[in-house]
Structure 1
Amino acid sequence: MTEGTATMELESALERHRVELTGYCYRMLGSSFEAEDAVQDTLVRAWRSHSTFEGRSSLRSWLYRIATNVCLDMLAASGRRARPMDLTEATPLARAALSPRPDSVWLEPVPDARVLPATADPAEAAVARESVRLAFMAALQQLPPKQRAVLILREVLAWRASETAELLGTTVAAVNSALQRARATLAERAGRADEASVSDPLDEEQSRLLERYVTAFEGYDMEALTALLHEDAVMTMPPFDLWLAGPADITGFMATLGAPCAGSRLIPVRANGLPGFAQYKPDPERGGFAPWAVQVLEISAGRITGFHCFLDTARWFPLFGLPLRLEA
């Protein structure tokens, strides 16, 4: 085998793991951009040190060991990421104000295609989708980094306790103890908001709900939108720390501070294992439509329970492969 052929084969072998490694790093870090940086660092380190890889474990296990160390180093230098409802109380509409916080504060959305590997196993696919949903991701961020790694490896990726212990350089007993503590922490945070249920592909009821949502939103019909929202629905708008609870405050905000969104256009996207839309709002200066938000929707029992608008369009629209403008 020539050196060039060996190089190409190594590159191909490493690249085959990119999506699943990005999913792992995203769950660890809560940031789509940091996850991609972590994976790139992992693959570079693997490339540089491949000559020392002795094959005592699989290439996949070795890559996960490198990725875990990269993520733990990154987490040691940064704080936990969160959703607005993890930081403040809900804001009554009468006191609504848009106060931004730095990007590093927020749990970030991610396109499904970047973190969910293709699989023929429906059960495996369902676990993968559920493990990147916003509510579960927010709960993960409450765990200490090593507990987080243990939970992801054991519960999401179905690694054996012995494999996880070897990867983390610890004992099976320590892994089992960390897993028990992580499960307890997540159980404390569990609630209706964490039980969003979305089929893949969408079932008939969910598809109709989304069709009605698009019609209501593009028509800016607050009465129709109210009928689609669960009584406990929440709306968030990172990078602003404001969040609203209940259909009255959500639609009240949209009809007042959010009024410039009237006449918007929505393009479907898939984010965090959930349905979503790229929102383009009318551009009064140039005509056509300018990017405004990536919306991620949580659905349960035939109603929308979460309406999350990520507003940093300069970051999100290129990440999702979306155009930065729509013509009229």
Structure 2
Amino acid sequence: MLQVKAGNLDKMGLLFERYHRPLFGFLFHMTGQTESSEDMVQTVFYRMLKYRHTFTGEGEFRSWMYHLARNVLADQAKQNKRVANHANVNEMAERIGGGIDADEQLQQEQDRDMLHKALARLNEDHREVLILSRFQELKYEEIARVLNITEGAVKVRVYRAMNELKRIYLTIETGRKAHEL
């Protein structure tokens, strides 16, 4: 990114190749919308070019990138006033595919569906910190920079978010099992 900042715009393609998938994953898990997430990825990379002068190189590039992504999410939420939180489970099942027998595949699909429902029910702060830490595999130090909070606060949020996610997941699972009986 420092090279892009210095005017070597050809390096932006390399950054896109390395980071567009993790960035899409973050945005998709936050919104549950494939097309919207793809558009937001493009917007984030556009803003990287536009605001390249703000990248100092002191922190990790990923922290700066996710900070921009959070701003794009906020702008998108303002435009839509309400962002849907439901993932397309069938699309996710197609991505997994493979040699799993039908029963296992159905169980995995149901588990993913319940996980996404549970994630969607978390408040935005908890969902965001879990996506950054568990799905995007950012270190707590990086998340602290992205969210502009202390590393200790990140640890507390992750702990609380995981407990809340477990509680919601178990509630959904119990309801599903009761419905099957």
Give me the TM-score of the superposition, normalised by structure 1: 0.41
Structure 1's unaligned 5+ residue stretches are 83-106, 117-128, 195-230, 233-244, 248-328
Whole-Å separation in 1 of the counterparts to 2:150 and 2:40? 26
Task: Spell out the pairing of 1:202-281 with structure 2 (5 A cutoff).
Answer: none
% identical aligned pairs: 26
**Matching residue within 83, 108, 113 for 2:88:** 108
Whole-Å separation in 2 of the counterparts to 1:31 and 1:56? 33
Partner of 1:81: 85
Tell me the amino acid that sits aligned with residue 137 of structure 2: A
Offset at residue 75 of structure 1 (A): 3.8
Partner of 1:187: 166
Offset at residue 14 of structure 1 (A): 2.5
Query: Is the contact made by 1:29 and 1:75 (CA closer than 8 Å) also made in structure 2?
Result: no
Whole-Å separation in 1 of the counterparts to 2:171 and 2:119? 17
More strand by share: 1
Offset at residue 193 of structure 1 (A): 7.0
Offset at residue 109 of structure 1 (A): 4.4
More helix by share: 2
Give me the TM-score of the superposition, normalised by structure 2: 0.70
Offset at residue 142 of structure 1 (A): 1.2
**Matching residue within 35, 41, 44 for 1:42:** 44
Is structure 2 residue 64 aligned with structure 1 residue 62?
yes
In structure 2, relative to structure 1, the CA distance for the partners of 1:75 and 1:176 (3 Å cut) is farther
Whole-Å separation in 2 of the counterparts to 1:75 and 1:171? 25
Q: How many residues align?
A: 158
**Matching residue within 16, 19, 23 for 2:18:** 16
Local SS of the residue matching 2:88:
coil
Is structure 2 residue 124 aligned with structure 1 residue 145?
yes
Whole-Å separation in 2 of the counterparts to 1:185 and 1:23? 22
In structure 2, relative to structure 1, the CA distance for the partners of 1:139 and 1:191 (3 Å cut) is same
Partner of 1:124: none
Offset at residue 66 of structure 1 (A): 1.0
Query: Is the contact made by 1:22 and 1:36 (CA closer than 8 Å) also made in structure 2?
Result: yes
**Higher relative contact order at CA 8 Å, sep ≥6: structure 1 or structure 2?**
2
Whole-Å separation in 2 of the counterparts to 1:164 and 1:137? 22
Tell me the alpha carbon deviations over residues 209-253 of structure 1, each in whole angstroms, 9 at most, x when there is no partner.
xxxxxxxxxxxxxxxxxxxxxx95xxxxxxxxxxxx659xxxxxx
